[in-house]
Amino acid sequence: MNAHLAIGDMTAAMAAIGRAAKTAAAALATATTDRKNAALLAAAKALRQREAEIMAANEKDMAAGREKGLTPAMLDRLMLDSRRIAAMAQGLEEIAALPDPVGGVIAEWTRPNGLKISRVRTPLGVIGVIYESRPNVTADAGALCLKAGNACVLRGGSESHHSSRAIHAALVQGLKEAGLPETAIQLAPTTDRAFVGAMLAAAEWLDVIVPRGGKSLVARVQAESRVPVFAHLEGNCHVYVEASADAEMAERVVLNAKLRRTGVCGAAETLLVERAAVNTHLPRLVKALLDAGCEVRGDPEVQKVDARVKPASEEDWGTEYLDAIIAAKVVADVGEAIRHISTYGSHHTEAILTEDAGHAARFMNELDSAILLHNASTQFADGGEFGMGAEIGIATGKMHARGPVGVEQLTTFKYLVRGNGQTRP
Amino acid sequence: MNAHLAIGDMTAAMAAIGRAAKTAAAALATATTDRKNAALLAAAKALRQREAEIMAANEKDMAAGREKGLTPAMLDRLMLDSRRIAAMAQGLEEIAALPDPVGGVIAEWTRPNGLKISRVRTPLGVIGVIYESRPNVTADAGALCLKAGNACVLRGGSESHHSSRAIHAALVQGLKEAGLPETAIQLAPTTDRAFVGAMLAAAEWLDVIVPRGGKSLVARVQAESRVPVFAHLEGNCHVYVEASADAEMAERVVLNAKLRRTGVCGAAETLLVERAAVNTHLPRLVKALLDAGCEVRGDPEVQKVDARVKPASEEDWGTEYLDAIIAAKVVADVGEAIRHISTYGSHHTEAILTEDAGHAARFMNELDSAILLHNASTQFADGGEFGMGAEIGIATGKMHARGPVGVEQLTTFKYLVRGNGQTRP
C-alpha cells in the first residue's frame, strides 16, 4: 500500500483491518491453548528459518537509518543479528510455555439461593500496539497478544519498516501452520503517521491501545486516543536512603538502580538521602556513583560532599534522564521524601532503603506508584523479574493494567452464573 | 453559583473542584476503615434527622417537575418520602458494613531471589459520577466512592437539584463529624449541561467517570470523555430456551426475567426459542407472557402460536424496551442463538435455559457478555444479588470494571516488593 494515503483512506484502511481483526478475535477467543502455542512455536521456527531474509530486510533499514543520520543508540536498537533473531525466537517459545490466562477462574462463590458464580478470564478483543523502531517488539507484542487470545494491529516505527515486515511474515507463517486466522496479527499497511491517527480514532475496532516508546509518542496517544490506553508516560524513579540502612547494601542497590542499565524505565533518576545520613551514607553513595562514571546533579548539601557534583536545577527533579546522570537531594525525613516524590514523580517505581519498618510501611502506603520497593533495586520493575513472563510494557495509569503488563493483564473477565431455575424475588 | 456560566467559567469551576478533590483523595487514601465507616454512619443519621428538610427540598423539585410535565414514571423516580429516605440511610449503613477493599492483598508470592511481592488494592483517586434525576444516587454513589477511599464529584440531573443538595448536606455533615475533608464528596455547583462537558475534559482531575442514566447520556459521555469511563450503554438482554429445558422452570424464569421489573437493565428484552421446542415450550411461554400483560413481538413462527402476537421488525432485535414488551424469535440451535446475540446484543447479560450441559458450556464460552447465566433469571444481574453489596451500576465495557461495579471495582492496585538488598543481575 502506498505510504502517502489521504486521511479518508487511512480511516478506510483501518476499518478493513479492524473488521478482519474482529473476526480473528472471535476465533482466537475460543482457540485452544494447544493451538495458540502451536502457532507461537511454528513462528519461532519460522524466525530461525528466515534468518537470512530478516537480516537482509534489516540491512535495508540500517542503510536508510545511517543515511538519515540516526544516532548510534538508535541504530543499535534497530540492528538485528543472528543472536538477536535467536533471542526473539526464544522469546516466542517462552511465551508459549506460559500458562494460558484465558478461561482461568479468578474467583468463585455460591450464593445462599444456590447460584454458583464464577469470574473467568477472557481476552480483551483487539489490541493496537504503537511502537518505535525496535523490530523485536513486532514479535514480542504479537506473541503476547496471541497468547492472551487477542487479535492485534501492530504499528511499528518507519525506520524498522522492512525488518518488521520480515518478522511479521514469520508470525503469519506460524498462524497459518497452526490453522489460526492470518489476520490475528496484522501489521499497519503504511508507516505514515496519519495511520496512527486512524488507530487512535478506531474505538469501533480496537479495545485498547498500548503505546511503547518515547515521551512524545505516548503523550500524543494519551491526548488523542478515543480508545482506552495502557500507557507508561515516564519512569522518573526514586531511591530514598535513610540513616538506618546498611551502608554497603545502600551503595550496591543505588549503583544497581541507576547504572545496571540506564535506558530502562525502571532506572533510578533521583536519589533522596535522609539528613541524618549526610555524614554516614551520602559521601559514600556520591563517590561510588561518580567513580562509576555517573554524573551527579545535587542540591547545595549534596554539592558540599564532592567537588565533582554539579548543581541541580528545579528541572532536574522532574527529568527522566535514561542516561548515566542522577539528581540528588537531602531531605529531612520520610515525610519530605514522600512529598518530593508525590510532587515530581511519575507514579512508576520508587524504593526506600531503611531498617526502620515503620518508615518503610509509611513510604509504601502513602506513595501512589505502580511499584514500591523496600531494600531492593528499582531495576526489578520488569514483568520477567516479577515472575509474570514477558511483558509488553510497564503501565503507570490506574485503569485495568498497572505495573508490568504481561499476558494476564491483556485479558478481561466475565461472570458465569449457574443455577437450577432460580428467579429473583 | 449561577446556573448559566460561560464555558471558561465551567473549566475554572471544575479545576477548583478538582484540586480540592485531589487533596481530599490523598487524605482518604490513607484514612482508616473506622473513620470512613464513622462518616457513613454519621451521614445515615443526618439523613434521618434532616428528613423534613430533604422532603421540603424534594417538594420544590416535584412541583417544578409537574410544571415541566415530567411523565409519571419520571416523577416517581424523583419522589422522596419517609420510606425512601430511610432506605437511603439504611443503604449507607449497609455500605459501612461491607469489608474495606483498600489495603486488601489480591495476591502475594516470593521470587527465587527472595523478593516478596504483593499486589494490594488502593483507591482509584477521584471519581466523577454523572447521573439523571434519581436523588438517591447522590447518597449511594457518594457512599460507595468514600468506602473505596475515593473522592468524588457528583453531577445529578437538574430536575432533582434541590433534593440532591439536601442529601449532599447530610453526607458532608457525616464527613465533618468523622474528621474527613468535606471536599471528599462534592456536588457540581451548577446543573448547566456545560458543566458535564467540563467534567468530561477534566483528565487532570478525574481518574474515572461513571455515567448512570439513559442511552443518550451514556452515549454522550462515551463519545466525548477524555477521562476513562465505566459505562453500561444498554442492557439488551436475551433468554434462550432449548427443548431440553424443564418447561415449568422455563416459564417461571422467562416471566421473571421479563416482568419482575421491566425498567432495570437486567430485564430480558428478547426471547429466543430452539426450533425443536416450537410445539413443546413456545406456546406455553408466549401465552404466559401475554396473559401476564406483556406485549409479544414475534417472527413469523412465533406469530403462528397466538393471534395476540404482533409482528417483530428488524429494529425490535436491537431494542431495549425497559417496558412490558418482548421480542421473540425461533432459532435453529444454540449456534444460531449465539450468532443472533452477538449481532444484536449489548454485551450485558444473557441466559440459556437447557438441560444440555454441552450447549450451556458453549453458550457461556462463546458469548462475550459481562454476565452469562445457565438456568437462572437475567434479573440477577445486580451487585447485591452477586453478594458484592451495593453497586454504582453494571458495566458492559471490558476495561477495569465489568458487570456489577461495587466498592471493590472502584479500586486499583499497586505492587509492594520487600527485599533485603537485592540487586538485579
- Contact yes or no for A403/A265 (Cβ under 8 A): no
Please tell me the predicted confidence (pLDDT) of residue B155.
Answer: 95
A204 Cα to chain B: minimum distance (Å)? 11
Give the closest residue to B381 by CA, choosing from A110, A107, A415.
A415
A386 touches chain B (CB under 8 A): yes
Residues of A in contact with B111 (CB under 8 A): 385-387
Residues of A in contact with B109 (CB under 8 A): 387
Is A72 a residue whose pLDDT tops 60? yes
A262 Cα to chain B: minimum distance (Å)? 13
pLDDT mean over B37-57: 98
B22 touches chain A (CB under 8 A): no
Q: Which residue has the higher pLDDT, A222 or B271?
A: B271
* Cα R_g (chain A), whole angstroms: 24
Query: Using CA atoms, how far apart are residues B283 and B121, in angstroms rounded to an integer?
Result: 51
Over the stretch A128-160, which tens digit does the pLDDT of each residue have?
Answer: 999 988 899 999 999 999 999 999 999 999 999
Query: Using CA atoms, how far apart are residues A340 and A317, in angstroms rounded to an integer?
Result: 9
Complex confidence, ipTM: 0.92
The pLDDT confidence band at residue A219, using thresholds 50, 70 and 90, is: confident
Residues of B in contact with A423 (CB under 8 A): 252-253, 255-257, 260, 376-377, 379
| Cβ distance of B376 and A29 shorter than 8 Å | no
Average pLDDT of chain B to the nearest whole number: 94
Is B5 a residue whose pLDDT tops 70? no
Over the stretch A254-269, which tens digit does the pLDDT of each residue have?
Answer: 999 999 999 889 999 9
Lowest mean pLDDT among B225-229, B243-247, B340-344, B421-425: B225-229
Query: Using CA atoms, how far apart are residues A126 and B109, in angstroms rounded to an integer?
Result: 31
Contacts of B423 (CB under 8 A, 6+ apart): A252, A253, A255, A256, A257, A260, A376, A377, A379
CA-based end-to-end distance of chain B:
60
Q: Which residues on neighbouring strands pair with residue A349, listed in sequence order?
A: A371
The pLDDT confidence band at residue A8, using thresholds 50, 70 and 90, is: confident
Q: Which residues on neighbouring strands pair with residue B367, listed in sequence order?
A: none
With 0-12 CB in 10 A as exposed, 13-18 as middle and 19+ as buried, what is A71? exposed
Provide the Cα torsion A219, A159, A138, A9; round to 10°: 70
Is A3 a residue whose pLDDT tops 50? no
SS3 B296: strand
B267 touches chain A (CB under 8 A): no
Please tell me the predicted confidence (pLDDT) of residue A1.
Answer: 42
* Cα R_g (chain B), whole angstroms: 24
Number of H helices, E strands in chain B: 15, 16
Give, for A249, the enclosing helix (H) or strand (E): helix A247-259
| Cβ distance of A375 and B422 shorter than 8 Å | yes
Please tell me the predicted confidence (pLDDT) of residue A7.
Answer: 67
The pLDDT confidence band at residue B312, using thresholds 50, 70 and 90, is: very high
Average pLDDT of chain A to the nearest whole number: 94
Please tell me the predicted confidence (pLDDT) of residue A195.
Answer: 93
Residue whose grid cell is 537482509: A56
Write a three-state SS string for A54-73.
HHHHHHHHHHHHHHHCCCHH
Please tell me the predicted confidence (pLDDT) of residue B335.
Answer: 98
B398 touches chain A (CB under 8 A): yes
User: What are the φ and ψ backbone dihedral angles of A388, each rounded to 5 degrees?
Assistant: -95, 0
For chain A, what percent of residues have pLDDT higher than 70?
98
- Is the pTM above the cut of 0.95? no
- Contact yes or no for B43/B168 (Cβ under 8 A): no
A381 Cα to chain B: minimum distance (Å)? 10
A328: how many CB neighbours lie within 10 A of its CB? 25
- Nearest chain A residue to B225 by CA: give it: A226
Give, for A128, the enclosing helix (H) or strand (E): strand A126-131
Question: In chain B, what are the domains?
Answer: 7-230+405-416 (3.40.605.10), 237-385 (3.40.309.10)
Q: Answer positive or negative: Cα dihedral of A85, A29, A210, A147.
A: negative
B233 Cα to chain A: minimum distance (Å)? 14
User: What are the φ and ψ backbone dihedral angles of B150, each rounded to 5 degrees?
Assistant: -100, 145
A178 touches chain B (CB under 8 A): no
| Cβ distance of A29 and B424 shorter than 8 Å | no
Report the residue from B30, B360, B364 with minimal CB separation from A365: B30
The pLDDT confidence band at residue B1, using thresholds 50, 70 and 90, is: very low
Distance of CA A28 to the CA centre of its chain: 23
B396 Cα to chain A: minimum distance (Å)? 10
SS3 A416: strand
Query: Using CA atoms, how far apart are residues A298 and A328, in angstroms rounded to an integer?
Result: 5
- Contact yes or no for B409/B383 (Cβ under 8 A): no
Residue whose grid cell is 528499582: A378
With 0-12 CB in 10 A as exposed, 13-18 as middle and 19+ as buried, what is B52? exposed
Report the residue from A253, A342, A371 with minimal CB separation from B423: A253
Buried b / exposed e over B305-344, threshold 16 CB at 10 Å, is bbeebeebeeebbebbbbeebbbbbbbeebebbbebbeeb
Q: Three cell numbers at B62? A: 416535584
Is B4 a residue whose pLDDT tops 80? no
How do beta strands A268-274 and A237-241 pair?
Answer: parallel
Query: Using CA atoms, how far apart are residues A97 and B321, in angstroms rounded to an integer?
Result: 48
Please tell me the predicted confidence (pLDDT) of residue B371.
Answer: 97
Q: Answer positive or negative: Cα dihedral of A145, A146, A151, A152.
A: positive
Contacts of A214 (CB under 8 A, 6+ apart): A132
- Nearest chain A residue to B409 by CA: give it: A400
User: What are the φ and ψ backbone dihedral angles of A115, each rounded to 5 degrees?
Assistant: -65, 130
